[in-house]
Amino acid sequence: MKTPRFFCASHCRALALPIVLWSIAFIAGLVVLVAGVVGDWATEEARAERTFRARQLALSGIAMGLNPAIKTGDPLLKTGDKEEGFEVKISNEAGKINPNYWIALNERTVFVQLFNGWNVEERLRDSAIDGMIDWIDADDFRSLAGAERGEYEALGRPGFPANRPFVHVRELEAVIGLDTVLAAQKDWRDYFTIWHNGKVNLQFATEPLLVGLGRLTPQQYRLLFELRAGPDAVEGNADDVQFESIEDAAAVVGADGVQTQALENYFDVSGSVLRVESIGHCNGTLHRIIAIVPGDGGGGILSWEEK
């Protein structure tokens, strides 16, 4: 029995409609998918381009900051606008505390004075100091309030302590006992370095160190800063006053015997290690480069970090 032609045509038209609708939906979905992929690709490409440009600007800033003819306060250390540019900060690592240097001398009092200035209680203070000693010394004998291999393993940190000097200031955060103290002091990185191997250079030391370690009053520090910075009130350039000795610096600020002794214990007037930090920005994307170089311009780059 033959199927009527009108029935076949109606049946085919009925089947064609869902197929057409499905095809339209499929094509629409494919278009949306492709548009999303293309959009993500374009966004990623734009982000990569901004990152590349920000790094190039940061590199330009580093090159400017490492130029011996460029000093702190030079207008060339900051350039650009809100869309893109770079800014460079030059400071001196010699004005900070090197824990490797003081622990090698078995000198605890510098840390006692520092942590007392941070209002750290005695128990935590001693644990922090002993923890640093155990991190650096080559043996596995635990200091009275310190931490050796067993204590680190108990916290799920096998392979510590390092039993060698610190190679980066961020390692200080890994020291059991010291980690608690540093967590409560947000600007602790401003106090420490591993690059200047000696006493803190009074020429570059900050107010917290000169008041905390050197026992100076804030008024005496301001006087010292004004003398150091010279007529332009900007440190790190040609008109700075260079002290010949700690005794000279103590005399000009009117330091008493206790203050002079403290200055002589923890400070001197030698050493220079530059920290050049350049931040490049491009439409909201930042790239930071930090270079550590000898202050005398010789010896090449000691450290290079990008983030």
**Cα–Cα distance, 182 to 118 (Å, whole number):** 10
Q: Are residues 142 and 219 part of one domain? A: no
Q: Are residues 262 and 208 part of one domain? A: yes
Higher per-residue confidence, 22 vs 74: 74
Q: Which of 139, 134, 160 is closest to 149 using CA atoms?
A: 160
Residue 228 is part of a domain; what is its CATH number?
1.10.40
* pLDDT tops 90 at residue 204: yes
Q: Are residues 180 and 228 part of one domain? A: no
- Tell whether pTM > 0.85: no
Q: Are residues 225 and 282 part of one domain? A: no
Residue 214 lies in a domain: yes
Residue 16 lies in a domain: no
Residue 111 lies in a domain: yes
Q: Please name the residue that has the structure tokens 């381009």.
A: 49
Residue 213 lies in a domain: yes
**Cα–Cα distance, 44 to 42 (Å, whole number):** 5
Cβ–Cβ under 8 Å, residues 200 and 266: yes
Q: Are residues 112 and 177 part of one domain? A: yes
Q: Are residues 254 and 279 part of one domain? A: no
Weakest-pLDDT range from 66-75, 201-210, 260-269: 66-75
Total structural domains in the chain?
A: 3
pLDDT of residue 40: 61
Q: Are residues 290 and 243 part of one domain? A: no
Q: Are residues 128 and 111 part of one domain? A: yes
pLDDT of residue 299: 72
What mean pLDDT, rounded, does the chain reach?
Answer: 89
Model confidence at 230, in pLDDT bands (50, 70, 90)? confident
**Cα–Cα distance, 268 to 67 (Å, whole number):** 27
Q: Are residues 179 and 110 part of one domain? A: yes
> CA 269: distance to chain centroid?
25
Residue 160 lies in a domain: yes
* pLDDT tops 60 at residue 156: yes
Q: Are residues 172 and 104 part of one domain? A: yes
**Residues spanned by the domain of 245:** 199-270
**Cis upstream peptide for 231 (omega within 30°):** no
Residue that finishes a domain, picked among 139, 160, 185: 185
Q: Are residues 177 and 110 part of one domain? A: yes
Quote the percentage of the chain above a pLDDT of 70.
87
Give the model confidence (pLDDT) of 158-194 as tens digits. 999 999 999 999 999 999 999 999 999 999 999 999 9
Quote the percentage of the chain above a pLDDT of 90.
75
Model confidence at 117, in pLDDT bands (50, 70, 90)? very high
Residue 17 lies in a domain: no
Residue 47 lies in a domain: no
Residue 280 lies in a domain: yes
* pLDDT tops 90 at residue 34: no
Hey, what's the torsion of the CAs at 134, 303, 201, 110, to 10 degrees? -10
Higher per-residue confidence, 29 vs 179: 179
Q: Are residues 174 and 119 part of one domain? A: yes
pLDDT of residue 47: 87
Give the model confidence (pLDDT) of 232-283 as tens digits. 878 877 788 899 999 999 999 999 999 999 999 999 999 999 999 999 999 9
Residue 142 is part of a domain; what is its CATH number?
1.10.40.60
Query: Edge-to-edge strands of the sheet including 273-282?
Result: 78-80, 84-92, 273-282, 285-294, 303-306
